[in-house]
Amino acid sequence: MNAKEQITALIIEDEEPARSIIKHYLDKHKSVKLVGECADGYCGLTSIKELNPDLIFLDIQMPKLTGFELLEVLEEKPEIIFTTAFDEYAIKAFDMNAVDYLLKPFSENRFDEAVEKAIIRIRKGESTTSKIQKLAIERVEGSTPLNRIVIRKGNAISFISVRNIRYMEAEDDYVMIYHTAGKALKQQTMKYYERNLPSDEFIRIHRSYLVSIEHVGRIEPYGKDTHIAILKEGERLPVSRSGYKKLKEKINF
Partner 1 sequence: MVHPILSKRRRLLVYWLIWLLIGLGQSLLITFSSDISVAASFTDGFLSALIFAVIAVALWFPVKQFNTSRNSILMEILNHLAMAFIVLGIWVFLTKFLVLMFLQDKPSYQSFWANSIFYRLGAGAFIYAVVMLTYNLMISIENIARKNFREAKLENMLKETELMMLRSQINPHFLFNSLNSISSLTISDAERAREMIIKLSDFMRYALSRKEDRTVDLRTELENLRLYLDIEKIRFGERLVLEEDVQEECLRVRVPNMILQPLYENAIKHGVYESAEAVSIKLIAKRVNGAISIIISNDFDPECIPAGGTGTGLNNVRRRLELYYGNRAWLKTKKEESVFTAELYIPEQADIKL
User: Which residues contact partner 1 (rule: CB under 8 A)?
Assistant: 14-18, 20-21, 24, 39-40, 42-43, 61-64, 66, 69, 85-87, 103-106, 144, 147-148, 159, 161
Nearer to partner 1, 44 or 243 (CB): 44
What percentage of the chain's residues is helix, strand, coil (to nearest 5)?
35, 35, 30
For residue 218, the minimal CB distance to partner 1 (Å) is: 30
Sequence-distant (≥ 6) Cβ neighbours of residue 68 within 8 angstroms: 60, 90, 135, 136
Nearer to partner 1, 18 or 228 (CB): 18
Nearer to partner 1, 43 or 247 (CB): 43
Nearer to partner 1, 12 or 205 (CB): 12
For residue 74, the minimal CB distance to partner 1 (Å) is: 17
Nearer to partner 1, 89 or 230 (CB): 89
CB 13 within 8 A of CB 59: yes
For residue 234, the minimal CB distance to partner 1 (Å) is: 26
Q: Distance between CA atoms of 118 and 107, rounded to whole angstroms?
A: 17
Which candidate, 67, 17, 22, places its Cα nearest to that of 41? 67
For residue 68, the minimal CB distance to partner 1 (Å) is: 9
For residue 63, the minimal CB distance to partner 1 (Å) is: 5
Q: How far is CA 207 from CA 72, 170, 179, 217, 231, in A?
A: 24, 8, 19, 20, 17
Residues in the chain: 253
